[in-house]
Amino acid sequence: MQFEQMKEELLQRINNKQLVNATVSQPRQKSNEIKRIKLKPIELKGIYHIQLEYQFERILKHENITMEKFGESLDGILEQFRQLHIQFVNEIVQIQLSKKNKVLWKSEKSKEKQVNLSHNRKKQYLLDDATPYPFLIRLGVQTEDGKVKKQKYDKFKQINRFIEFIDDSLDHLPKDKQIRILDFGSGKSYLTFALYHYLKIEKGLNIKVTGLDLKKEVIEECREIASDLQYEDLEFLVGDINDYNEETAVDMVVTLHACDVATDMALARAVKWGAKVILSVPCCQHELNRQLNSPALTIMTQHGLIRERFAALATDSIRAEILTLVGYETQVLEFIDIEHTPKNILLRAYYHGQKPTIEQRKRYDEFVQFLSAKPFLQNELQDYLNS
């Protein structure tokens, strides 16, 4: 299909009010501040509009456009992004654009969907909050008929936010072999089960997932749930990050709330295994707090609470920069709203192998020297930083 023909096909369906929703992703330029755009039809004062939800790293912005002006907006969208996932009334369309706008169009029939033109309709999740999912029922997030329990709604939102990060990572995972995924410090494993469900069941990918945690009783419970759900490619092991030596290569490493340098151990392992995707939510960053010695910051660091928070932010900044220096495209993102937990930073890194510039390394060295920091992760990856 030619590029212009593709636009005509889209506009025809949208003009015929067949659009249910759409997601536009994969910015052509890494510098693009807009990471994703979601589209949905709405009715304002009796007039049909398309609402565009622009998703930046930390904020959302909305714009409502009449059909007369939507064609011009679509041109701008296609200039900036390479992937579209579109749900029409009875059809799902996936579009992938090459750098030269070669079009890959995939279409499949779907069950008929209702178009909701309400302006204030509820948030659309990758996991629907009215659909029963066996793993969420088993974990106590949903009732047997698929309703999210009131006291578990924050957990449901967290799970969906995590799945959005997983969904964004799909293009960075291998297509020609089984995808190997490790989750260090899996704990009760809400997100481990969610990851497995989304990639294996929703997306049909060939994956093998291992959850690792020190708490034997928690691991035994997770094993029982995985067995009951017949999740054959999901295993749980009792073990420590530092002692796990069963792998030589891993495609994705997830580490959620590993305490202090345990996060750094997991990040170092991920780099050494050549992981293409790293998702890390750090916790309890004490290392830099103990080392911090910068007279210029005394106005801040003389206060224990401020010192602790500054040290945590500086630690995650250092981690992100080290990952960048060893060949990753690294982002620091908000995992969930800060009102739900203060541990809301997620480090997301995709491997591209690009060498850092002299200026990047100099900037990093000056920063850690200013703080009198001797980062654990820097020591663990010294050979990679010097290569």
CB atoms within 10 A of CB 18: 17
Average pLDDT rounded to a whole number, residues 139-147: 90
Q: CB of 185 within 8 A of CB of 211?
A: no
Cα–Cα distances in angstroms (integers) from residue 14 to residues 10, 79, 89, 128, in the given order = 6, 19, 10, 24
Residues 81, 229 within the same domain:
no
Q: What is the pLDDT of residues 230-255, one digit of tens each?
A: 999 999 999 887 778 888 889 999 99
Residues 297, 354 within the same domain:
yes
Domain termination residue (choose one: 94, 109, 124): 109
Residues 103, 164 within the same domain:
no
Residues 90, 158 within the same domain:
no
- 296 domain-assigned: yes
- Residue 339 is predicted with a pLDDT of 41
Share of the chain above pLDDT 70, in %: 96
- 115 domain-assigned: no
- 127 domain-assigned: no
- 122 domain-assigned: no
- 123 domain-assigned: no
- Residue 343 is predicted with a pLDDT of 56
- 54 domain-assigned: yes
DSSP state for residue 142 in the 8-state scheme: B
DSSP state for residue 148 in the 8-state scheme: B
Task: Extract the tokens encoding 146.
Answer: 């698929």
Domain termination residue (choose one: 74, 109, 144): 109
- Residue 341 is predicted with a pLDDT of 44
9 burial (CB, 10 Å; 0-12 / 13-18 / 19+) is middle
- 216 domain-assigned: yes
Residues 151, 92 within the same domain:
no
- CATH code at position 202: 3.40.50.150
- In b/e form, how buried is each residue of 117-146, taking b as 16+ CB within 10 angstroms? eeeeeeebbbbebeeebbbbbebebbeeee
Confidence label for 130 from pLDDT (cuts 50, 70 and 90): confident
Residues 233, 178 within the same domain:
yes
Average pLDDT in the chain: 89
Share of the chain above pLDDT 90, in %: 66
Average pLDDT rounded to a whole number, residues 110-137: 77
Residues 259, 334 within the same domain:
yes
Classified as helix, coil or strand, 170 is: helix
Q: CB of 214 within 8 A of CB of 240?
A: yes
Residues 186, 294 within the same domain:
yes
More confident residue, 117 or 303: 303
CA atoms of 158 and 93, how far apart (whole Å): 28
Structural domain range at position 100: 3-109
Strand partners, 38: 23, 53
261-272 and 304-325 helices cross at what angle (nearest 10)? 0
Q: Which residues contact 155 (CB under 8 A, 6 or more apart)?
A: 141, 190
Residues 254, 288 within the same domain:
yes
Closest CA to 88 of 9, 17, 5, 37: 17
Task: Extract the tokens encoding 299.
Answer: 């106005």
CA atoms of 229 and 162, how far apart (whole Å): 21
- 141 domain-assigned: yes
pTM of the shown model = 0.69
CA atoms of 376 and 260, how far apart (whole Å): 10
The number of distinct structural domains making up the chain is 2
Residues 249, 310 within the same domain:
yes
Residues 236, 173 within the same domain:
yes
Domain termination residue (choose one: 109, 143, 158): 109
- Residue 335 is predicted with a pLDDT of 80
CA atoms of 167 and 206, how far apart (whole Å): 15
Q: What is the pLDDT of residues 50-80, one digit of tens each?
A: 999 898 876 778 899 999 899 889 999 999 9
Confidence label for 336 from pLDDT (cuts 50, 70 and 90): low
Q: What is the pLDDT of residues 194-235, one digit of tens each?
A: 999 999 998 899 999 999 988 899 999 999 999 999 999 999
CA atoms of 200 and 178, how far apart (whole Å): 11
Residues 185, 70 within the same domain:
no
- Residue 237 is predicted with a pLDDT of 92
- Range from 3-7, 22-26, 59-63, 95-99 carrying the lowest mean pLDDT: 59-63
Average pLDDT rounded to a whole number, residues 103-109: 91
